[in-house]
Amino acid sequence: MINIDVNGASRQVNIEPDTPLLWVLRDMIGLTGTKFGCGIAQCGACTVHVNGTAMRSCSVPIGTLDGAKIVTIEGLSPDNNHPVQRAWIEEGVPQCGYCQSGQIMAVVTFLKKYSKPTDADIDANITNICRCGTYEALRRAIHRAADMMQT
Amino acid sequence: MRGIRIPSTVNRRDFILTAVSVAGGMMIGIGAAPGSADAAAISTQPWNDNEYAPHELDAWIAIDPDDSVLIRYQRSEMGQGSMTALPMMITEELQCDWSKVRIEYASSNRSVREHRVYGNMYSHGSMSVRESQKMVQQVGASARERIIAAAAARWHVPASECAAAQSVVTHRLSGRTLRYGELAAEAAKVKLAKEPTIKTPAQFTFLPRRIPRLDLVHKTDGSAKFGIDAQVPGMVFASISACPVPGGKLKSVDESVLSGTPGIVGVVKLEDAVAVVATDSFWRAKRALSRLQPEWDVGAAGDVDSEQLSKEFRAALRDRMVLARNDGDVDKAMSGARKTFEAIYETPYLSHTPMEPLNATVNLQPDRLDVWVGTQDAEAALRAAAKASGLKPEQVYIHNAFLGGGFGRRDGNDEILQAIAVARVVKRPVKLIWTREEDTRQDRFRPHAVVGFKAVTGSDGMPTAWSMRVVTSSIFNSVGIPFPPGKAEPPAVDGLESIGYNVPNTRVELHIRNTHLPVWFYRAPGANQHTFAIESFLDEIASARGIDPYQMRRKLLAGKTDWLKVLDTAAEKGDWGKPLPKGSGRGIAICTFTDSLCAQVAEVTVKPNGEVKVNRITVALDTRHMVNPQTVTEQAESAVIFGLSAALYGKITIKAGAVVQGNFDTYRMVRLAEAPRIDVHLVPSGGDVWGGAGEPAVPPVAPAVTNAIFAVTGKRVRTLPIVDTDLSRAT
């Protein structure tokens, strides 16, 4: 039995320990906002926060997470008002939207480290794939979120 | 931002999908579009489980006593924004209050039962707006006139004395008013003697309008439901592996290796695939599947590889062709020419690779089949599912979801038919998901194509005759669309046959060469590869004759004001001709697709080691008319990145009949760091037709970039992807 905290609620998970966190979240806990894109930590659609760090949950075995605090897109803010979410809405980032939970979760921890990011900082750190190619709006939204968090 | 959550009232059957919120329980979130109190609403769960609503005027529109308007949307939302655009068009005619509009998917089951009341339900060919524009305007106009008629009857006045605006009918002479909600029940009984004439774009009062897409908010908090998010009580999970060589069959598989593995429901053997079904998580099924070692019967296709296909396609350039276009007399114009220009261009197979891998969730019962899936064609999916299950079409319900990308892939129904086959064996609701590797390798691919060009120029350096010979595979044959032999199927020659240049002698010919690989429509079919070929070849001629490539295009488009407008806009906004640092250059390209025009200027830096950096793409796009310029702009940006991934990296390689690439580590996509700045300029020219928005900005990307590479390096990229050409140079 593995004990984790997901979005503030404690969960006991009884599953093979090599099961990736992604599938525990989606199939066992029912939090489907975190998406499956590649299964090999390439695309970032499955990004969640594990003890405050952005991780690609498709490649994190649940067996390594006993006692961990997990935050998913559903737990990022109570009413979709995290500055990154607000910036995403104001810049109109999503198209198909499938990768955007992962993008947002990646950007949230990125902005904790880079509070005034340059484009080069963004290029080096935000590596999630978006097949709709929302990068233009996404870059604007990162800068906007950073500005919001300054004020 | 307005955001409310209301409890779901749908509980008709026990298999209705539950949308589990963070707190648990069954909730449907209804949110408004951001930043404005006057926006319409859309559900996080777009599919309707009740295909009938109270207070319907017809199958499209229901108006409740509180004036809220339900508008049904008959296409598929995969990021292109038509779930916002089409209801906007209905709103334009209905004259209703946009803030009171709610949108949900139309039911393909109802359409099948009611004489296709929703018309074509597919989303491909950039059809959503351009094909259904007249239809949805008529839907809105008819409803408006019926509401006005109901008001006129109530007041005993002629309808001509009444006007409708913002969900209110006003009797102009007396100033009396009635709300739509007060009139809907009577309007539902009104039969118009004659259908009203729909508005021309000049008469629009609501459109065009920049409105954030209505699904935006739900796509920032994880609440938007995609097909892969379906949760059906009692469901099990299936992972599947089809024969790696398309067309091959399953010979045998030893399932004993899985005996004793907890949670395995079963191994299902299909004719061409093997699936493992497990409880609790997809991962369990996937891991178990990876332990199986199925044997396949692949036949002669098992000897095919990419080099051989390339040789065969190139050799076939000399084979007999069918004519696609023949202006003037190419042979006569070329006879006696002192110099001819010749070149061969080649583009590879590509996989669509939507972010959401293909998946389907089915609940197969003796008298009813429910399918939760993101499909680009809910009606075709219904018919295919009915056929596969042996049920009548009216017994099949397709619950269409938000699509995590489509690009043409999500209408082959492969995943649906597999899920039905698996459910039939395990007799439980099944969620079947393709791994990324399966999604890449079991695609129905963008075809491989080779184009052979020959051209001659006049004394002024301008081309006077050119011949284009195409060898590619038949998408129509793969899809099963009947087409007369001896004619050239449009997707095989689009981008060449459709060029706008005034070259008096133009001949386009086609030779179809099918392989064991299924080929399919892929964002801007035909044009997505042939525009690269023709726009590069034209650049070769311009360069050889010492003519500026932009000016050569201008001359060849003389008199075509709409083409010149997009070309000039791209050139001007893209700083054509202005100085650039050493190692950087610009390229230009133009195309027509789905009745739209698009020109692009690419600004590219090529490092001495050959590494290409695309710095900036300037887009000029003419879609003739626009519903929502915001989503049109988004589509242009999207198309540029989509086309750039293909141009720089895209290539599906065949070895021993099977696809080599599997995941994003081997099938590379453009990421943020490689994404150029994109400037989109919308230049709608008006007129009778409506152009598409989703595709026309794909084709010019590759040639604009390769022409820029030539400007920097003097090296001509004639085979895609660009990464396969050595562009390094001595410093």
**With contacts defined as CB-CB under 8 Å, which chain B residues touch A78?**
none
Q: Contact A73/B675, CB-based, under 8 Å? A: no
Chains A, B: CB contacts under 8 A, how many? 208
The CATH-assigned architecture of domain B306-349+445-724 is 2-Layer Sandwich (3.30)
From the list A18, A96, A136, which residue is nearest B675 (CB)?
A: A136
Domain B227-298+358-433 sits in CATH 3.30.365.10? yes
pLDDT digits (tens, 9 = 90+) for B427-484: 999 999 999 999 999 999 999 999 999 999 999 999 999 999 999 999 999 999 999 9
CA angle A58/A59/A62 to nearest 5° reads 90
For B423, the token pair is 């459910």
CATH number of the domain at A2-75, please?
3.10.20.30
**With contacts defined as CB-CB under 8 Å, which chain A residues touch B220?**
80, 85, 88-89, 93-94, 100, 104
For B46, the token pair is 């777009």
From the list B216, B634, B664, which residue is nearest A89 (CB)?
A: B216
CATH number of the domain at B52-219, please?
3.30.365.10
Q: Is the pLDDT of residue A15 over 80?
A: yes
Domain residue ranges of chain A, discontinuous segments joined by + = 2-75, 83-150
pLDDT digits (tens, 9 = 90+) for B121-157: 999 888 889 999 999 999 999 999 999 999 999 999 9
CA dihedral B494, B498, B504, B506 (to 10 degrees): 10
Interface test with A, best of B22, B361, B439, B633 (most A CBs within 10 A): B22
Domain residue ranges of chain B, discontinuous segments joined by + = 52-219, 227-298+358-433, 306-349+445-724
Contacts of A127 (CB under 8 A, 6+ apart): A44, B671, B672, B673
From the list A104, A123, A133, which residue is nearest B642 (CB)?
A: A133
pLDDT digits (tens, 9 = 90+) for A113-138: 999 999 999 999 999 999 999 999 99
For B59, the token pair is 């199958």
Q: Contact A89/B34, CB-based, under 8 Å? A: yes
pLDDT at B485: 85
Give the H or E element holding residue B109: helix B108-113
Q: Is the pLDDT of residue B26 over 60?
A: no
A38–B contact, CB cutoff 8 A? yes
**With contacts defined as CB-CB under 8 Å, which chain B residues touch A23?**
281-283
Q: Contact A97/B219, CB-based, under 8 Å? A: yes
Bin A62: left if φ > 0, else alpha if -120 < ψ < 50, else beta.
alpha
Give the H or E element holding residue B204: none
A80–B contact, CB cutoff 8 A? yes
Mean pLDDT of chain A: 97
Q: Do B227-298+358-433 and B306-349+445-724 share a fold?
A: yes
Query: Looking at residues B152-175, what average pLDDT do you find?
Result: 98
**Nearest residue on chain B to A123, alpha-carbon basis:** B673
Q: Contact A96/B669, CB-based, under 8 Å? A: no
A129–B contact, CB cutoff 8 A? yes
d(CA A126, CA A111): 11
Question: What CATH fold (topology level) applies to the domain A83-150?
Answer: DNA polymerase; domain 1 (1.10.150)
Q: Contact A27/B280, CB-based, under 8 Å? A: yes
Query: Looking at residues B246-274, what average pLDDT do you find?
Result: 97
From the list A18, A45, A73, which residue is nearest B221 (CB)?
A: A73
**With contacts defined as CB-CB under 8 Å, which chain B residues touch A93?**
220
Distance of CA B304 to the CA centre of its chain: 30
pLDDT at B17: 32
Model pTM score? 0.95
pLDDT digits (tens, 9 = 90+) for B657-690: 999 999 999 999 999 999 999 999 999 999 999 9
Give the H or E element holding residue A97: none
Q: Would you list the DSSP string of B641-671?
A: HHHHHHHHT--B-EETTEE---STTTS----
pLDDT at B443: 98
Q: Contact A135/B433, CB-based, under 8 Å? A: no
**Nearest residue on chain B to A14, alpha-carbon basis:** B280
Query: Looking at residues A78-82, what average pLDDT do you find?
Result: 95
What are the C-alpha distances in Å from B65 to residues B10, B32, B62, B185, B723? 20, 20, 10, 9, 61
- Phi and psi angles of residue B301, each rounded to the nearest 5 degrees, phi first: -60, -20
Query: Looking at residues B283-304, what average pLDDT do you find?
Result: 97
Given pLDDT bands bounded at 50, 70 and 90, which one contains residue B170? Answer: very high
Chain B contacts in chain A segment 87-106 (CB below 8 A): 88-90, 92-101, 104
A20–B contact, CB cutoff 8 A? yes
For B203, the token pair is 């008469």
